């Protein structure tokens, strides 16, 4: 298992993840995705969207706003219950989440005495409008789910979906986490990929089991080794206030097994609560029963940043090639930030450079393709291996005559000569192979 330090250093070196506001000393647990990272993140989100929205007839998408009516959070229970128990060390003044401490009495860092626990709400509070006054308080959403519940009737009426059907959403969420660390695993600003899947109340268990299975296999379909994934059912006392049951999909991170995604049976809790607090009917007309019902909800809720981190860790390989270390991300090709990189073998030969640049331009019609001539060919290959580029294309002197280029495969490192005319088609086909 790779050390987290290596992942953090690779991320910085190759433009995957940087600390937010680094020039000012950084902001704790807030991260920026660099030129390579943003591609990887977009690909993770696109893979999720493709599987869950485009791939299904029973799902539609949504993009709700981050700021929502403050009553949302009263109804959902976040104002009263979305809190961790916090303790402070009287000696070193560090803060901890009580549930994460083995010894509840003394500080894990300096063994100092701990204060009594108190509730700490994880929502970021700000104000809306020009005057900061009572009544103008508003929160940054701590989960995307509530935007889906509030739009349930809008989506139902405009999409004409019948039960069972789901609404999928990807978006930012914010939590003022007490304990942070482990790189992007626990951020204060992060992205969620959530589905609220509405079902008939009698069908809830069937669909719950279905989504636990489906979401578990999604991670392995995109390359995560099954032996690094496991399911963990929540014990009664840890199940959230709104849920009937909950399973976590956990990944074997270098810092231990930790949650990647949670699948919860939220019952009719949210729709009922919002109906009660808003006074609006949030119901579905059941054609079979000929009456209005409040659907139950199965919620698979995953984090983009956590999934991305797991994909990075799982694909990280160090190999010895001709006595030299090769670091390579064996990412699923669909997730790879750059699909093909084109190099001129000699950068002082204008015809070769021109041909290489033209090839990159041509390939970029299909996907993100890169051109690089800033180092020796060996270095260029290593750079692309480190970001998981599946194919490297080299243009050499012979290419000018025979109109063929060398294509090198990231995983096998095998090379073959491909006619320039057929290159776009060949790489596209090879990328299609799983
Ligand atoms: P944890 O127990 O790790 O705090 P949670 O159970 O509170 O997580 P959920 O409320 O179930 O998390 O959120 C759903 C998903 O959102 C999580 O599985 C995770 O992938 C992601 N997520 C939640 N909090 C964070 C965070 N602080 N940073 C990054 N991702 C997060």
Where residue 381 sits, what CATH number does that domain have? 3.40.50.800
Examine the fold and report which residue of 274, 295, 312 is the final residue of a domain before the chain moves on.
312
Residue 163 pLDDT grade (very low, low, confident, very high; cuts 50, 70, 90): very high
Q: Do residue 248 and residue 284 come from a single domain?
A: yes
What CA–CA distance (Å, rounded) separates 350 from 397? 11
Q: Do residue 56 and residue 156 come from a single domain?
A: yes
Does the predicted model carry a pTM greater than 0.85? yes
Centre of ligand 1 to C-alpha 129, Å, is 30
Centre of ligand 1 to C-alpha 181, Å, is 13
Centre of ligand 1 to C-alpha 161, Å, is 29
Tokens of 257: 């097994």
Verify whether ligand 1 is closer than 6 Å to residue 261 (CB atom).
yes
In a domain, 23, yes or no: yes
Q: Do residue 296 and residue 351 come from a single domain?
A: no
86 sits in which H/E element: strand 83-88
Atom of ligand 1 lying closest to residue 249 CA: 18
What CA–CA distance (Å, rounded) separates 334 from 40? 9
Looking at the DSSP assignment, which residues form a beta bridge with residue 168?
61, 195
In a domain, 189, yes or no: yes
Q: Would you say 284 and 161 are in contact if contact means Cβ atoms under 8 Å apart?
A: no
Centre of ligand 1 to C-alpha 48, Å, is 17
pLDDT at 254: 97
Q: Do residue 262 and residue 347 come from a single domain?
A: no
Handedness of CA 332, 338, 340, 343 (dihedral sign): negative
In eight-state DSSP terms, residue 78 is H
In a domain, 321, yes or no: no
Verify whether ligand 1 is closer than 6 Å to residue 250 (CB atom).
no
pLDDT at 433 over 70: no
Range in 125-129, 380-384, 417-421 with the lowest mean pLDDT = 125-129
In a domain, 88, yes or no: no
Q: Do residue 384 and residue 240 come from a single domain?
A: no
Domain count, the chain: 2
Verify whether ligand 1 is closer than 6 Å to residue 266 (CB atom).
no
Where residue 163 sits, what CATH number does that domain have? 3.30.930.10
Neighbours of 337 (CB within 10 A): 24
What CA–CA distance (Å, rounded) separates 112 from 91? 5
Residue that has been written with the tokens 């433009």 in this structure: 15
Report the share of the chain in percent with pLDDT over 90: 87
What CA–CA distance (Å, rounded) separates 240 from 264? 9
Centre of ligand 1 to C-alpha 137, Å, is 24
In this prediction, residues 382-387 reach a mean pLDDT of 98
**pLDDT tens readout for residues 277-331:** 999 999 999 998 999 999 999 999 999 999 999 999 999 999 999 899 999 999 9
Residue that has been written with the tokens 């079979």 in this structure: 288
Q: Do residue 287 and residue 149 come from a single domain?
A: yes
Arithmetic mean of pLDDT over the chain: 95
In a domain, 421, yes or no: yes
Tokens of 98: 């009580």
In a domain, 184, yes or no: yes
In a domain, 145, yes or no: yes
What CA–CA distance (Å, rounded) separates 425 from 428? 5
pLDDT at 33 over 90: yes
Centre of ligand 1 to C-alpha 303, Å, is 7
Closest Cα partner for 301 from 377, 367, 227, 240?
240
User: Cα–Cα–Cα angle for 303, 309, 314, nearest 5°?
Assistant: 125
In a domain, 129, yes or no: no
Atom of ligand 1 lying closest to residue 186 CA: 28
In this prediction, residues 203-208 reach a mean pLDDT of 97
Residue 150 pLDDT grade (very low, low, confident, very high; cuts 50, 70, 90): very high
**pLDDT tens readout for residues 106-147:** 999 999 999 998 888 999 999 998 776 666 899 999 999 999
The per-residue DSSP string of 201-243 comes to GGGHHHHHHHHHHHHHHHHHHTT--GGGEEEEEPPGGGS-TT-
Q: Which residue has the higher pLDDT, 261 or 103?
A: 261
Verify whether ligand 1 is closer than 6 Å to residue 187 (CB atom).
yes
Q: Do residue 162 and residue 256 come from a single domain?
A: yes
pLDDT at 138: 94
Q: Do residue 168 and residue 257 come from a single domain?
A: yes
What CA–CA distance (Å, rounded) separates 265 from 246? 6
Maximal CA-CA distance, the chain: 78
What residues make up the domain containing 377?
338-430
What CA–CA distance (Å, rounded) separates 216 from 286? 31
pLDDT at 134: 65
Report the share of the chain in percent with pLDDT over 70: 99
Examine the fold and report which residue of 278, 312, 346 is the final residue of a domain before the chain moves on.
312
Q: Do residue 301 and residue 354 come from a single domain?
A: no
Question: Inter-axis angle of helices 350-363 and 420-432, to 10 degrees?
Answer: 40
Q: Do residue 200 and residue 346 come from a single domain?
A: no
**pLDDT tens readout for residues 342-353:** 999 999 999 999
**pLDDT tens readout for residues 230-257:** 999 999 888 887 889 999 999 999 999 9
pLDDT at 434 over 50: no
Bond prior to 164 in cis (omega within 30° of 0) = yes
Q: Do residue 351 and residue 282 come from a single domain?
A: no
Q: Do residue 25 and residue 153 come from a single domain?
A: yes
For strands 165-174 and 59-62, give the pairing.
parallel
Looking at the DSSP assignment, which residues form a beta bridge with residue 33?
17
> What does the buried/exposed string (b/e) look like for 209-231 if buried means 16 or more CB atoms within 10 Å of the residue's CB?
ebbbebbbebbeebbbeeebbee
pLDDT at 100: 84
Examine the fold and report which residue of 266, 295, 312 is the final residue of a domain before the chain moves on.
312
């Amino acid at each position: 298992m790779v050390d987290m330090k290596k992942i953090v250093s690779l991320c910085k070196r190759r433009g995957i993840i940087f600390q937010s506001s680094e020039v000012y000393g950084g902001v704790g647990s807030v991260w920026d995705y660099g030129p390579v990272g943003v591609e990887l993140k977009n690909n993770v989100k696109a893979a999720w969207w493709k599987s869950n929205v485009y791939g299904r007839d029973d799902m539609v998408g949504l993009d709700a706003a981050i700021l929502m009516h403050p009553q949302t959070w009263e109804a959902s229970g976040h104002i009263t219950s979305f809190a961790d128990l916090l303790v402070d060390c009287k000696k070193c003044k560090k803060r901890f989440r009580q549930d994460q401490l083995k010894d509840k009495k003394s500080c894990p860092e300096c063994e100092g005495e701990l204060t009594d626990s108190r509730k700490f709400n994880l929502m970021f509070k700000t104000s809306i409008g020009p005057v900061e006054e009572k009544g103008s308080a508003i929160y940054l959403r701590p989960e995307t789910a509530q935007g889906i519940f509030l739009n349930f009737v809008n989506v139902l009426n405009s999409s004409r979906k019948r039960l069972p059907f789901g609404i999928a959403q990807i978006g930012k969420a914010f939590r003022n986490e007490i304990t942070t660390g482990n790189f992007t695993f626990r951020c204060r600003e992060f992205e969620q990929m959530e589905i609220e899947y509405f079902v008939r109340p009698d069908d809830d268990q069937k669909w719950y089991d279905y989504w636990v299975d489906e979401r578990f296999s999604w991670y392995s379909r995109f390359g995560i080794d099954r032996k690094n994934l496991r399911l963990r059912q929540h014990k009664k006392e840890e199940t959230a206030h709104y849920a009937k049951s909950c399973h976590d999909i956990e990944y074997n991170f270098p810092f231990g097994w930790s949650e990647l995604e949670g699948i919860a049976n939220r019952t009719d809790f949210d729709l009922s609560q919002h109906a009660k607090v808003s006074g609006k009917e949030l119901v579905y007309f059941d054609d079979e029963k000929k009456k209005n019902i409040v659907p139950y909800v199965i919620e698979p809720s995953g984090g983009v940043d956590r999934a991305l981190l797991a994909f990075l860790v799982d694909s990280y390989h160090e190999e010895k090639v001709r006595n030299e270390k090769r670091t390579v991300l064996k990412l699923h090709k669909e997730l790879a930030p750059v699909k093909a990189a084109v190099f001129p073998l000699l950068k002082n030969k204008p015809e070769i450079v021109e041909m290489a640049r033209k090839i990159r331009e041509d390939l970029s019609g299909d996907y993100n393709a890169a051109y690089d001539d800033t180092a020796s060919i060996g270095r260029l290959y290593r750079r692309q291996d480190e970001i998981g580029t599946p194919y490297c294309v080299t243009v050499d002197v012979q290419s000018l005559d025979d109109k063929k280029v060398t294509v090198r495969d990231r995983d096998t490192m095998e090379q073959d000569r491909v006619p320039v005319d057929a290159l776009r088609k060949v790489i596209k086909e090879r990328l299609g192979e799983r």
